[in-house]
Structure 1
Amino acid sequence: MTATADAEAAANELTPLADYLGSVLRRLRALPPLDLDLTQSYGNVLAEDVVAPHSYPAFDQAAVDGYAARWEDFSGAGRGAGYASGHAGSPGGRIVRLNVVGDLGAASWRPVRLTPGSCFSVAAGAPLPAGADVVVPVEWTDQGMAAVEIFRVPKRGYGVRRAGEELPAGRLLARAGTYVSPALVAVFAATGLGHVVVRPSPRVVIVATGDELVDVGRGSQPGQVVDANSHALTAAAAEVGALAYRVGICDDDPEALRGLLEDQTLRADLIITTGGTGTGPGDMVRRILTRREGGRAGPVTFTEVALYPGTSLGFGTVGAEEVPVVCLPGEPGAAMIGFEVLARPAINLLAGAEPVFRPSVRAHLLETITSPGGLREFRPAHVAERRGGGYTVQPLPGGPFTLSGLAEANGLMVLGERVTTAAAGSTVDVLLLDRRR
């Protein structure tokens, strides 16, 4: 059997990525709903539809600083309006003169009514007097106090905001699954909501394992590897919206690792480990979490997935509370890709967010590349919009294992299991890592 045939045979024994993700995500459920104060709801996902309890605006109000008046007094139908000689902005080239009978501010609350030939000086946000159907901006007048001359007449309804004009009571403001943004907080507050029911942000604990690991702030020596993974994965979890906690480094000590994971179940909705997922003598995570106890299989199953980089992934639950755990490879590039394809969707699902996967586009490839057969490859790339529509994608040097490539990428190019060569000019799928396209 040739080397190529051996590789293809090995790839055929791997679990397709789509099948693996489906089997994992079906085991997860969104976290129970939580009723939160409005100021604390930002960044969470709504657990139920939200309907406006009150209208916005709550009452007829002025939209600009000026003079609230009756349109009839400008059209000549009013009985009390006064007119002066020619100005192009007023009916028939006349200046309209109205009596100013009071001032209304945003805090005014007593009901008042306009009579023919009169107006009120109003501030933006002030309640409109009964009968007013236009607000003349200050700059279109002589800014008079007892009487005002209006040089330019607006259209009927100008400067007026009617009650419920933007959001009537009973309007659906947002559906369940919607991310609570600052603007949505403003909408909720304006319609009278003080709290909403959301899915809480998942608490995610990140643990790096390995005797070889040392903390940041130093260079690697032979036999030592600086722990980049736990810092990067903590940042990645926070980017998704999780409450991320970096535990740090755990040596390859079975009892210490078991005890650490048990302790973390008390404050975690999801635990992410990195390192030790292989089958070598030092891969303690896999050995501990797959160990049979009482005739039962271990709490975590490790699967060889048709994924490049990083074929070995683990998923299961730990502790009496059966907290989900995701086990990622120790190689930094593989850990980051593993987070994107497995941990990130898991966090989104726990948070009730939809969709759980990053958005993707189809893009024209700018250079010919090769990919390992039988594996779904995720390669760092730069995607850009083309003039006239569509996207182009440029693979970054070094392939998927390079941290510098991941740092520069704004997309991950996805090459399917059957792709061994992708020619320049062909179309490929690209996951968008951010909005800088």
Structure 2
Amino acid sequence: MTATADAEAAANELMPLAEYLGSTLRRLRALPPLDLDLTQAHGNVLAADVVAPHPFPAFDQAAIDGYAARWEDLAGAGRLGAHPAFGQLDSGPTRSVRLNVVGDLGAASWRPVRLTPGTCFSVAAGAPLPIGADVVVPVHWTDQGMAAVEILHAPKRGSGVRRAGEELAVGQVLATAGAYVTPPMVATFAAAGIGHVLVRPSPRVVVVATGDELVDVGRPSQPGQVVDANSHALTAAAVEAGALAYRIGICDDDPEGLRGLLEDQTLRADLIITTGGTGTGPGDMLRRVLSRPGTGRGTVEFTDVALCPGTALGFGTVGGEEVPVVCLPGEPGAALIGFEVLARPAIQLLAGAEPVFRPSVKAHLLETVSSPGGLREFRPAHVAERRGGGYTVQPLAGGPYTLSGLAEANGLLVLGERVTTAAAGSTVDVLLLDRRR
């Protein structure tokens, strides 16, 4: 049997990625909802539709500074023509109209007032509209008089006026469950009289790196030592995914210490992410420890998945509370790809977000690439929009150099299990990463 045939035979024994994700992610449920103040809710996912209890604006009001009047009293004012803010102005004799100014209204005015024929009120933007007024004349269309004012041009009926409920009506759905609360959304809720909303809490994620060989950052590694890049990177990735992430750091390959550390972290975590020890080598202690069932402690199942880079992934629960745990490979590039494939969707599910996967596009491949048969490869890439529409994608360093490729990438080129070569000019799938270039 040739080396290629051996590789294909080995790949056929791996679980397809789609099957693995389907069986794994369906075991997760969104966290119980919380009722939060608007400012605290920003960045969380709505657990229920938000409906306007009050109209916005809450009352008829002036939209601009000017003079609130009855349109019938302005019919004789001159015609200015078209205006970008007020549209086509009504025609009429080219003469002014004089109205008595019977008062001033500001945004803080609250007493109801009524217009009588031939009168107007000087109003500020946001002021309650006098009863009977149906137009606000902009200041620069007048002589800006105080006791009496000359109206030089007549705007259309309704110009300069905002009616109650014009923007948001009572009972209108302002946002639906599953949407992230954004700053404009907060403003909309507040304007409609909503002070609290029901949201899913941001998942608390604990990140642990395992391995006797690991040393902390700040010094170069020596033979027998590997700098722990993973726990820092995965903590940052969890924050980017919307989690409250905590880096625990390095845990040695001590079975009791490892189990005790993870059980301690279940008190503060909605999800635990580990990195390292997922393989079957002599130093892969994590897999041997967590795959053993323990009374009331949960268990983790390790699966060899048709994924490149990194095939060995673990998923299960730990501790009496059965907190979900995702176990990622120890190689940094494989750990970050594993996070994108499994851990990030898990965080989105816990947060109640929809969809749980990153958006993807079809893109025009700029360079021929090869891919290992039988594995679904996620390769760093740079994706760009074409001037005439659509996307192009430039592959970046993959394989053993995935980490350096990811540092430059704004997308992940996805090559399916049956793809061994993707030719330049072909159309491929690309996951879009949340990065600005």
* TM-score, scaled to structure 2: 0.95
- The equivalent residue for 1:384 is 384
Residue identity matched to 1:214: V
- The equivalent residue for 1:80 is none
- The equivalent residue for 1:151 is 152
- The equivalent residue for 1:246 is 247
SS at match of 1:316: strand
Q: Do 1:276 and 1:282's aligned partners in 2 also have CA atoms closer than 8 Å?
A: yes
The structure-2 alpha-carbon separation of the partners of 1:17 and 1:240, relative to structure 1 and needing over 3 Å to count, comes to: same
Q: Output the CA distance in 2 between the equivalents of 1:319 and 1:331.
A: 26
- The equivalent residue for 2:283 is 282
* Residues 189-210 of structure 1: CA deviation (Å, up to 9, x unaligned): 1001110111111000000111
SS at match of 1:236: helix
Q: Which moved more, 1:221-230 or 1:406-415?
A: 221-230
Q: Output the CA distance in 1 between the equivalents of 2:316 and 2:338.
A: 15
Q: Output the CA distance in 1 between the equivalents of 2:94 and 2:10.
A: 89
Q: Which moved more, 1:148-157 or 1:264-273?
A: 148-157
Q: Output the CA distance in 2 between the equivalents of 1:313 and 1:164.
A: 53
The structure-2 alpha-carbon separation of the partners of 1:297 and 1:58, relative to structure 1 and needing over 3 Å to count, comes to: closer
* Residues 86-108 of structure 1: CA deviation (Å, up to 9, x unaligned): 77567311122211110111111
- The equivalent residue for 1:192 is 193
SS at match of 1:93: coil
Shift of 1:388: 1.5
Query: How many pairs align?
Result: 428
Q: Do 1:69 and 1:132's aligned partners in 2 also have CA atoms closer than 8 Å?
A: yes
Residue identity matched to 1:39: T
- The equivalent residue for 1:64 is 64
Q: Output the CA distance in 1 between the equivalents of 2:24 and 2:127.
A: 56
Q: Which moved more, 1:279-288 or 1:367-376?
A: 279-288
* Mapping 1:309-320, distance limit 5 Å: 309-320=309-320
* Unpaired segments ≥5 residues, structure 2: 82-90
Q: Which moved more, 1:322-331 or 1:145-154?
A: 145-154
Q: Output the CA distance in 2 between the equivalents of 1:46 and 1:297.
A: 32
Shift of 1:387: 1.4
Shift of 1:404: 2.2
Shift of 1:50: 1.0
Q: Do 1:400 and 1:406's aligned partners in 2 also have CA atoms closer than 8 Å?
A: no
Residue identity matched to 2:150: E
Shift of 1:399: 4.3
* Mapping 1:356-435, distance limit 5 Å: 356-399=356-399, 401-434=401-434
Q: Do 1:205 and 1:264's aligned partners in 2 also have CA atoms closer than 8 Å?
A: yes
Q: Do 2:204 and 2:269's aligned partners in 1 also have CA atoms closer than 8 Å?
A: yes
SS at match of 2:20: helix
* Residues 298-348 of structure 1: CA deviation (Å, up to 9, x unaligned): 700000000000000000000000000000000000000000000000000
- The equivalent residue for 1:107 is 108
Shift of 1:74: 1.2
* Residues 210-264 of structure 1: CA deviation (Å, up to 9, x unaligned): 1111111222222211111111111110011111011111111111111100000
The structure-2 alpha-carbon separation of the partners of 1:285 and 1:88, relative to structure 1 and needing over 3 Å to count, comes to: closer
* Mapping 1:105-184, distance limit 5 Å: 105-184=106-185
SS at match of 1:92: coil
- The equivalent residue for 1:349 is 349
Q: Output the CA distance in 2 between the equivalents of 1:199 and 1:172.
A: 19
Q: Do 1:74 and 1:91's aligned partners in 2 also have CA atoms closer than 8 Å?
A: no
Shift of 1:291: 2.0
The structure-2 alpha-carbon separation of the partners of 1:298 and 1:50, relative to structure 1 and needing over 3 Å to count, comes to: closer
Shift of 1:140: 1.9
Residue identity matched to 2:417: E
* Residues 401-425 of structure 1: CA deviation (Å, up to 9, x unaligned): 4322101101000000000000000
- The equivalent residue for 2:321 is 321
- The equivalent residue for 2:51 is 51
Q: Output the CA distance in 2 between the equivalents of 1:362 and 1:436.
A: 19
Q: Output the CA distance in 1 between the equivalents of 2:264 and 2:49.
A: 36
Q: Output the CA distance in 2 between the equivalents of 1:10 and 1:350.
A: 34
- The equivalent residue for 2:19 is 19
* Unpaired segments ≥5 residues, structure 1: 77-82
Shift of 1:434: 2.3
Q: Output the CA distance in 2 between the equivalents of 1:388 and 1:109.
A: 55
Q: Do 2:297 and 2:322's aligned partners in 1 also have CA atoms closer than 8 Å?
A: no
Q: Do 1:29 and 1:349's aligned partners in 2 also have CA atoms closer than 8 Å?
A: yes
Q: Do 1:309 and 1:401's aligned partners in 2 also have CA atoms closer than 8 Å?
A: no
Shift of 1:293: 4.3
Q: Do 1:376 and 1:415's aligned partners in 2 also have CA atoms closer than 8 Å?
A: yes
The structure-2 alpha-carbon separation of the partners of 1:255 and 1:365, relative to structure 1 and needing over 3 Å to count, comes to: same
The structure-2 alpha-carbon separation of the partners of 1:254 and 1:88, relative to structure 1 and needing over 3 Å to count, comes to: closer
Q: Output the CA distance in 1 between the equivalents of 2:401 and 2:267.
A: 34
Q: Output the CA distance in 2 between the equivalents of 1:225 and 1:98.
A: 84
Taking only the aligned residue pairs, the percentage that are identical comes to: 85
- The equivalent residue for 2:274 is 273
Residue identity matched to 2:206: V
